[in-house]
Structure 1
Amino acid sequence: MGEKTQQTDTYEQTESKSAGFCSKLQRCPKPHGFTASVITKGVLRLLLFGVVWAVTGPACFPGQNLFGLVVLFLSAVCGGELISVFRRNNTPAIPPLLGMLLAGVVLRNVPYITDSVFIDQKWSSALRNIALAVILTRAGLGLNAAALRRLKSVCVRVAVGPCIVEACTVALVGHFLLDFPWIWAFMLGFVLAAVSPAVVVPSMLLLQSDGFGVQKGIPTLLMAAGSFDDILAITGFTTCLGMAFGTGSTWMNVVKGVLEVLTGVLAGAAGGVLMHFIPSEEQSDVVLQRVCVLLGLCVFSVFGGHAAGLGGAGGLCTLVMSFIAGLSWSEQKAPVAAVVGRIWNVFQPLLFGLIGAEISISSLSVYTVGLGVATLCVGLLVRVLVTFTVVLYAGFNLKEKIFISLAWMPKATVQAALGSTALDMARSAGDKQMQYYGMDVLTVAVLAILITAPIGALAISLTGPKLLQQHTPIQHTQDQSECVSTPDVDGLVSKL
């Protein structure tokens, strides 16, 4: 009995000490707000590097591939967060992707750091292609069939007119200024012709939340038209890509490009129909399984298209597949799109960081940069004028027409996703001349991001409150319910 009593007393004393320690620990002050966020993110990033080093060992030492990838990813994330600090009245004046891109450029061009941050070309190409598959999947899921049926003619004009005219203008200027072959000139034209949803959509949502332009549906118009503008540019680019790397006569390459488009559409349709049946709805974790199957098929399509010599078909297959899959899921599409959006948050810093790391400032020609900027400026000028023209008789006043024209300038996401695709294919083919063209396309695409993304975002945030009419919350709600025929367009298109 005495021993049991002694053990009980010892146990109670231990419990009392533990309770006292826990009580003191709970009374310790905890970091809050910005400080807590900085500490948490810092610990997570150190932990990421530590885990990779612990698992791979010497493969994560400076100068090795994994070390370069981890440092690039962390630097791109930090660059995006630093850019996000510059805000004006909660409006993102400069998009974070610009900081991600600059982080890659810095790592590639700063002495000593460049030697330590080595990234294998095959890894870089593979990761960029995966990021391309993810962003195209988001684009397909972001489309809404109801919006497609109900879009007014002005939305079609805004989506198609500026894109086609700018692509043709850039192709014409690029052929004579940059000495590109016609097919490469049109490839550059379609790369530059796409508007950036990553810049336009968040800015439109902020203006819409404050009631600017809601009565005439301007934010909804631009967000919906941006989706179709991007798909048109991607389709044109993939068609030209197939023709550029085809063998044989010009007409055979044209036929091959058309066949690639048809192959991509048919394969995507088949994959989308398959996604309607697999996985079935009664399975557990159906959202996670749908995401895994969809992304797996999309990544396979992109890489399989390159392996089969049909580089242009993979992107279209991904777009069509994700669109048809989302169409068959109906209301159940939203959670799948949300998970894909989370995955994009991981690949976005990698994509823009890797694109920036491809640019070596010392190897750039002042002549090429100057002509590239001139080509870009001519294309932008034509785009603004064409956009103003297509909305002349759409019921907007002069200020609203000017705002729509300025808001249709930013370029970023599609340029980053497509800009390096031709260069990667040229490297795989071992063609030095095509590598030269591919590097020029990538250089002009990077210049387009650096110039138009911040200028476009600033133009939207500064001119929106001055050029658009603002409405009270009551009027905002009433007008929005009357003018927007598809209430879910904003949320779905914003997933681009």
Structure 2
Amino acid sequence: MFRPSVVFFNKAPSYKYLVSVLILGNLWMQNPTMLDKKSNWADNVPRMSQKKSKRETTGFPVNYNTDRNDTGDEKIKKNSGYNSIAAKSIFHFLTLFVLGLILWGLLWCAFGDNWRWDGPWFRLAAVAVVAWSSGQLLHGFTTLPPLLAALLTGILARNFNILDMRDFIEIDAFLRKVYPVLILGKASLGWDVSYIRENWQQISVLGVIPWAAEVVTVMICTNLLLGFPWIWGLLLGSLYASVSCAIVMPSVCRISASKSGARNWAQLICTAGGTDTALSVGVYGLIYSYIFVEVDDTYKYIKAGSTLLVGVTVGVIWGSLAGLLPHTLDFYVAEMRVLFVLLGGLFGNFFSTQIGWGGVGGVAVLACNATAATFWRRDGWKLNNNTASTAYRVLYAAAEPMVFAYSATFIVLNSATWNTFLYGLAILAICLCVRLTVTALVCWDMTLKERLFVCCTWTPKSIVEAVLCPVATNTLLMKNNHDKEQLEYAEDLMRLIVQAILITTPIGFLLTNHLGSWLLKKTDNESEIDPRAPCRKSFNEGSQIEDVKL
């Protein structure tokens, strides 16, 4: 960053002596006995760095450490009261509250009555703020994922006539194209491509076979119990079968980091879950285009056979460019890398949807960020613990409450909803049994406890489901002459998805969090490590645990 004052200072050596005197005077005011010491007083004056890094400009430091002259009582005082953890949290949220009020006032002054306390835009923003706040409280008191509180906030807002996203169809449709880029991009920045190459068979089997088994089960159950057409059952199944690894990844990272062994649990769960997610996003986009985009049947079949391949190819090409551009020594390399993959992903998702190739953009984002992270790793950036992953975590933390709260505003609690929920319980029970049974069977090289651990992590459904479940409803509502029967299918689809999120998310999280350590605990007979297995490496040095804090 260009700093004119520093450049002027470096070109005028006479000013260095003046600043040195000012600094010395400031230190003496803080510690008047400094000049009385026999030790060299100049040691207390901050010195300029003798070596300049490639990206740093030499200058005087602005922070000084005065703790070395504090007495014991003074140190205790500094660690209590204002500097306590509770006080820092209070001031943190108080700062956010003040900033929020200022932002609201600015929007009200700029855009008028729509941003009044009873205006439509204010209600839209207020529901998101309440969803985020309630999520923080829920997680702080129970450790449960904040998304559950956001989902309940949206349901209450709709049924108390506070907010209905049907009144903001265009805005919701726009956000549904932004959310996948943030969520999928965040996940794939933690993929280790070397691990995927070495264990591609296990990753593919674990990511594909349970997903396919659940999709088929959903199609059969919805056709028999709810009368869904097969194509709508496939549309629902492609979402319903998506596993949400982000819910359990903090627990998986914490547990696997404390266990010795050859198996890299964090990478296995993350990459196999990413394969599952890629299938859900790609197949859902394909089926959605097949139902709602009117084109020649031959063209539909071409898209069906090439959606995933096109998405992976485009993503790898753009990710390779992101690894080469900008130059590693560019002063703004971190910022430009984030913008390169973020804007590229947004454009790809919007463009693929515009031309009727839904699903290609989401798959391309996964492939792009995983490829880019591999190139950046060679330059010294750690997987899932770098500037890009931090930026995506912050963006996801901001988007998560909106995703779940706005999705839940489509749910109206009436007799039709409760009837669908009743059938949904049976469908969910059958699908979970099939999915977890198949998951345990495909983990043929694991012990019984390890299979149970994978089944626990393969339980939650939340993120992809919440992002995509209202898309079909939005599309039908934006048509002037929509099919009422199709709209009913879309409404039932959302009800089943929301029910699955509310039930499976806390169950999967609690099982993984509380039983994971016991399930991965080695007995004396199991303590042998297979010398042929790849050594377990750190996944992200704890960065996944920061996701929940954010």
CA contact (8 A) 2:263 2:534 kept: no
3-state SS of paired residue (2:248): helix
Could you tell me which residue of structure 1 aligns to residue 82 of structure 2?
30
- Whether 1:128 aligns to 2:179 is no
Partner of 1:77: 132
Q: 1:84 to 1:124 in 2, by over 3 A?
A: same
- In structure 2, give the amino acid aligned to 1:421: V
Identity %: 25
Structure 1 residue aligned with 2:234: 186
Answer whether contact 1:79 1:100 (CA < 8 A) is retained.
Answer: yes
Secondary structure at 1:361's aligned position in 2?
Answer: coil
| Residues 1:298 and 2:326 aligned together | no
Between the aligned partners of 2:189 and 2:264, the Cα distance in structure 1 is 22
Q: TM-score when scaled to structure 1? A: 0.82
Say if 2:440 is the partner of 1:394. Answer: no
User: Which residue of 136, 150, 165 maps to 2:198?
Assistant: 150
List alignment gaps of at least 5 residues for structure 2.
1-29, 31-76
Aligned pairs for 1:449-464 (under 5 A) are 449-464=501-516
Aligned to 1:325: 372
Find the aligned partners of 1:409 and 1:436 in 2 and give their Cα distance. 28
Alpha-carbon distance, 1:425 to partner: 3.1
Distance 1:148 1:245, change over 3 A: same
Aligned to 2:278: 231
Q: Is the 8 A contact 2:262 2:530 kept in 1?
A: yes
Q: What are the Cα deviations for residues 346-393 of structure 1, in whole angstroms up to 9, with x where unaligned?
A: 1112212211222222475322222223222211110111112112x3
Letter in 1 for 2:136: E
Alignment length (residue pairs): 459
- After TM superposition, the structure 1 = structure 2 runs for residues 171-182 of structure 1, keeping only pairs within 5 Å, are 171-182=219-230
CA distance in 2, matches of 1:214, 1:322: 29
CA distance in structure 1 between the partners assigned to 2:185 and 2:267 by the alignment: 21
**Cα gap change, 1:328/1:223 in structure 2, threshold over 3 Å: closer, same or farther?**
closer
Report the CA distance shift for 1:142/1:218 in structure 2 as closer, same or farther (over 3 A): closer
Match of 1:347 in 2: 399
Q: Is the 8 A contact 1:45 1:74 kept in 2?
A: no
Residue in 1 that maps onto 2:49: none
CA contact (8 A) 1:204 1:223 kept: no
In the aligned structure 2, how far is the partner of 1:323 from the partner of 1:219?
Answer: 15
Report if aligned partners of 1:246, 1:253 keep a CA contact under 8 Å in 2: no
Query: What is the one-letter code of the residue matched to 1:387?
Result: T
Alignment match, 1:289: 336
2:181 partner amino acid:
A
Deviation at 1:491, TM superposition (A): 5.9
What secondary structure, in the 3-state scheme, does the structure 2 residue paired with 1:438 have? helix
User: Where does structure 1 lack aligned partners over 5 or more consecutive residues?
Assistant: 1-18, 20-25
Normalised to the residue count of structure 2, the TM-score between the two structures is 0.74
User: Is the contact made by 1:194 and 1:415 (CA closer than 8 Å) also made in structure 2?
Assistant: yes
What is the aligned partner in structure 1 of residue 97 from structure 2?
A: 45
- Distance in 1 (alpha carbons) for counterparts of 2:419 and 2:271: 38
Structure 1 position 35, deviation (Å) = 4.1
Q: Which has the higher contact order (CA 8 A, sep 6+)?
A: 1
2:426 is matched with which residue?
374
1:203 counterpart residue number: 251
Read off the aligned partner of 1:394 and give its amino acid letter: D
Using the TM superposition, give the Cα deviation of residue 233 of structure 1 relative to its aligned residue in structure 2, in angstroms: 2.3
CA distance in 2, matches of 1:73, 1:401: 38
How far apart in 2 are the matches of 1:219 and 1:268?
23
Deviates more, 1:231-240 or 1:291-300: 231-240
User: How far 1:162 moved relative to its partner?
Assistant: 0.8
* Residue 106 (structure 1) aligned to one of 141, 156, 159: 156
Give the CA deviation at 1:122: 1.8
Range with bigger deviation, 437-446 or 148-157: 148-157
- 2:185 alignment partner in structure 1: 137
C-alpha displacement of 1:184 = 1.9
Instruction: Considering fraction of residues, name the structure with more helix.
Output: 1
Larger Rg: 2
Query: How much does 1:194 deviate?
Result: 1.4
**Which residue identity does 2:114 align to in structure 1?**
A
The 1:304–1:170 alpha-carbon spacing in structure 2 relative to 1, beyond 3 Å, is: same
Secondary structure of 1:194's match?
Answer: coil
Asked whether the equivalents of residues 263 and 536 of structure 2 are also in contact (C-alpha less than 8 Å), the reply is no
Aligned letter for 1:425? T
Q: Could you tell me how far apart the structure 1 residues matched to 2:101 and 2:410 are?
A: 23
Q: Tell me how far 1:437 sits from its aligned partner.
A: 2.5
Q: Which residue of 1 aligns with 2:212?
A: 164
- The structure-2 alpha-carbon separation of the partners of 1:447 and 1:227, relative to structure 1 and needing over 3 Å to count, comes to same
SS at match of 1:283: coil
From 347, 352, 355, the counterpart of 1:308: 355
The Cα shift of 1:450 comes to: 0.3
Alpha-carbon distance, 1:439 to partner: 2.5
- Per-residue CA deviation, residues 171-192 of structure 1 (Å, 9 max, x unaligned), is 2212222222222211211111
1:404 to 447, 451, 454: 454
